[in-house]
């Protein structure tokens, strides 16, 4: 069964700290992996998409890595800010259809000023 797990479920850090969010997937035959941000009562915003042939992607203060062999992805957030507070979701695509994503339950991040 293809599953995606995110640990921890919640994380609280002081402003300015660098942090890592973890995502693991049970089936390494992944097509791509995507990180999203979800604010309370809102939809999802795509942050980074990593294709299976790639090892990492960067956007601003965010860096996502993908290690297929170990079934893991990490999202690194540098110099965290209170505005980064949100739930971060990772989602695996196994190529069934473009939008048939398998989501983790997310990590709820709180950045304290």
Partner 1 sequence: NAGVMQNPRHLVRRRGQEARLRCSPMKGHSHVYWYRQLPEEGLKFMVYLQKENIIDESGMPKERFSAEFPKEGPSILRIQQVVRGDSAAYFCASSPPYGPTGSTGNTIYFGEGSWLTVV
* Contact positions vs partner 1 (CB under 8 A): 4, 31-32, 34, 36, 41-46, 49, 51, 89, 91, 93, 96-106
- The nearest distance, CB 62 to partner 1, in angstroms, is 14
Residue 50 corresponds to which tokens in the numbers above? 């990593």
Q: How far apart are CA 108 and CA 88, in angstroms?
A: 6
CB 103 within 8 A of CB 89: yes
- The nearest distance, CB 96 to partner 1, in angstroms, is 7
Residue 53 corresponds to which tokens in the numbers above? 């042939």
- The nearest distance, CB 14 to partner 1, in angstroms, is 27
Q: Which is nearer to partner 1, 77 or 89 (CB)?
A: 89
Q: Which residue do the tokens 């110099």 mark?
A: 79
């Amino acid at each position: 069964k293809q599953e995606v797990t995110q640990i921890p479920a919640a994380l609280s850090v002081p402003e300015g700290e660098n942090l890592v969010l973890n995502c693991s997937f049970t089936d390494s035959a992944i097509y791509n992996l995507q990180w999203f941000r979800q604010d309370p009562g809102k939809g999802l915003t795509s942050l980074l998409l990593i294709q299976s042939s790639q090892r990492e992607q960067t956007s601003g203060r965010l860096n996502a890595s993908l290690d297929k062999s170990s079934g893991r992805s990490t999202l690194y957030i540098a110099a965290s800010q209170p505005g980064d507070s949100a739930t971060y979701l990772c989602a695996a695509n196994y190529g069934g259809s473009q939008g048939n994503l398998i989501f983790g339950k997310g990590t709820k991040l709180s950045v304290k000023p």
